Amino acid sequence: MLYIKGVFILSYHPDISGSERGTTFGIQIVADNQPLYRNPEVPPFWIVQYAPLYYYLVGKTYQLLNWDPTDIYRIQFLSRFISFVLVSISMFVAYFTVRRFIKVSKLLSVIFCCLLFGQLQEWHLTNSRIDSLLFLFTVLYIHVIFKALEQKEEWNKYFVLAAFLAVVAFFTKQSALIHSIVLLGYFFYRLQWASLLKMAGILAALFTIFTLIFSQLQFKVFYDNLFGSLQLPIVPGWFYAYTYRYVVPAMSLFIAVSFVINLKWLVNAADPKRIFLALSTFLFFGFATATAFKHGAAVGYYHEYAYVGLLGIFYYFYNENLAVTKSSLANYLFPAMVGMTMLYFTGQQMEKYYNTNLEKYASDYAQQNDVKKYVLAHIGKDEKVVISGGEDFRGWLLQHMLFKHLLAYQDTEVRFLFEAKRFDFSGFYDLVKEKKIRYLVLDRDSPAYLYAFDYTFNLNDYMLEKDIHGYKVYRLK
């Protein structure tokens, strides 16, 4: 599985992590030393839908390397490599967490990490997205909370650190709001009112400080990007296509066992760690399910649940202080279940490896790079280009190569906001009237169409200037 991951990291595949472009564009913006968040109503109508930490981590690293921000292969390679490093660090933290706090053997701790890594690889959002950094903060957050729960004092410094990690996780991805909810929910469930008030105050202060830092006092612009862009429709069909059919085949037994164990703990357990695991398991699962119906959601929303659920299962079966002996049937059945799940994950990755034509994507990249060179040699600094791609990612990377001249790169999100009249996008029609959209690049039979604003260009206003590898380059007359 590590070999397959390495092959895809080094490949020219346009998308190895599910909508990788949504992260890549933000990295390019930071690498080009442009402001990450801007008014979405003003050309080029860019909207960055995620919190800033991963963008800055990768974008600023790219800047230090002094590479060209339009070199999309290097951008994606660096993002994929950093994501792999973050996931690898997460595995080390998870290993020490399960050894130190769940108290299982070294061998079972390694098995735990192998299963966790396989699950992350199959639910691929951590391959080259902000989710890799979010997952690292999640495992650190759980580790620190376990440390806090071992202290004699009900309220201690480790809960303050956990609150800090929860807020940092939120400013990596907004879905990490659940991390703060879990902390507050724990104190509420335990009826620890003084600690609940302290936690609420610390979280409020940290959210305020981080907002002041990252918004650069442009509060409306910051809000419009982070929250305005998330106002997407609820689509049950999307939930089935991108979440349900990936969760149920592989994880139905896992979910059932996890729920039974944690429900028992939630009702009967006195140990704070087991109470926290039970509560966080249900909260993480519930939050992931509630948000998975949103357009753009995916199975990776369950990463946090899978982690705490797996911790709970290992705690129940293999904690050295619990009465499960080597002669117990569970001692043999559970590893078999784990092994079969790992086999499923590995089989899925092998199938993906053998069914993906990576040489084709390398050829596509070279062709799109030729188009990029031609357009950049002829387009003005303030002029815009619209790219209408084709099947199997054709034109996808060209949008990144020409991102400085591209309109509404988050075209799906912009389209929903356009139809909902959430923002005033009349500036787009001003660009058309002022003849600022200089070039159209159409792949083969693709229409002269900009999806973001549901706008079809009149090709009578343009002349076919060049055909490069099937990409028709039209210039405004």
Examine residue 131 and state whether it is found in any structural domain, yes or no.
Answer: no
Residues forming beta bridges with residue 467, ordered by sequence position: 472
Last-in-domain residue among 355, 386, 417: 355
| Domain co-membership, 228 together with 117 | yes
pLDDT value for 345: 75
Q: Residue 183: which residues within 8 A CB-CB, separation 6 or more?
A: 145, 159, 162, 163, 166, 199, 203
Last-in-domain residue among 303, 324, 355: 355
Q: Tell me if 306 sits within 8 A of 116, measured CB to CB.
A: yes
| Domain co-membership, 350 together with 387 | no
| Domain co-membership, 348 together with 366 | no
pLDDT value for 393: 92
| Integer Cα distance of 255 and 67 in angstroms | 45
Q: Tell me if 423 sits within 8 A of 41, measured CB to CB.
A: yes
pLDDT value for 320: 60
Examine residue 23 and state whether it is found in any structural domain, yes or no.
Answer: no
* Identity of the amino acid at 229: S
Mean pLDDT confidence for 89-96: 97
Mean pLDDT confidence for 466-473: 96
**Two tokens at 349?**
């990755």
Which of the residue ranges 144-153, 245-254, 410-419 has the most confident prediction, judged by mean pLDDT?
144-153
pLDDT value for 474: 97
Domain boundaries, position 301: 89-125+137-355
pLDDT value for 183: 98
| Integer Cα distance of 398 and 393 in angstroms | 10
Last-in-domain residue among 330, 355, 380: 355
Domain count, the chain: 2
Peptide bond connecting 35 to the previous residue in cis, omega within 30 degrees of 0: no
Residues forming beta bridges with residue 443, ordered by sequence position: 471
| Domain co-membership, 450 together with 327 | no
| Integer Cα distance of 154 and 34 in angstroms | 46
Angle (nearest 5°) at CA 36 between 454 and 75:
90
| Domain co-membership, 321 together with 385 | no
| Domain co-membership, 407 together with 277 | no
| Domain co-membership, 319 together with 363 | no
Question: pLDDT tens, 108-154?
Answer: 899 899 889 888 887 766 788 899 999 999 999 999 999 999 999 99
Question: pLDDT tens, 279-309?
Answer: 999 999 999 999 888 887 777 889 999 999 9
Closest CA to 349 of 119, 130, 11, 90: 119
| Domain co-membership, 341 together with 391 | no
Q: Tell me if 89 sits within 8 A of 37, measured CB to CB.
A: no
Examine residue 39 and state whether it is found in any structural domain, yes or no.
Answer: no
Examine residue 458 and state whether it is found in any structural domain, yes or no.
Answer: yes
Examine residue 377 and state whether it is found in any structural domain, yes or no.
Answer: yes
| Domain co-membership, 188 together with 236 | yes
Whole-number CA gyration radius for the chain: 24
Single pTM value for the model: 0.94
Closest CA to 237 of 287, 296, 285: 296
| Domain co-membership, 305 together with 366 | no
**Two tokens at 248?**
């149920």
Examine residue 19 and state whether it is found in any structural domain, yes or no.
Answer: no
Examine residue 46 and state whether it is found in any structural domain, yes or no.
Answer: no
Strand order across the 471-476 sheet: 384-388, 437-443, 471-476, 462-468
Closest CA to 79 of 94, 67, 92: 67
3-state secondary structure (DSSP) of residue 173:
coil
| Domain co-membership, 312 together with 417 | no
Examine residue 373 and state whether it is found in any structural domain, yes or no.
Answer: yes
| Integer Cα distance of 444 and 392 in angstroms | 13
| Domain co-membership, 437 together with 348 | no
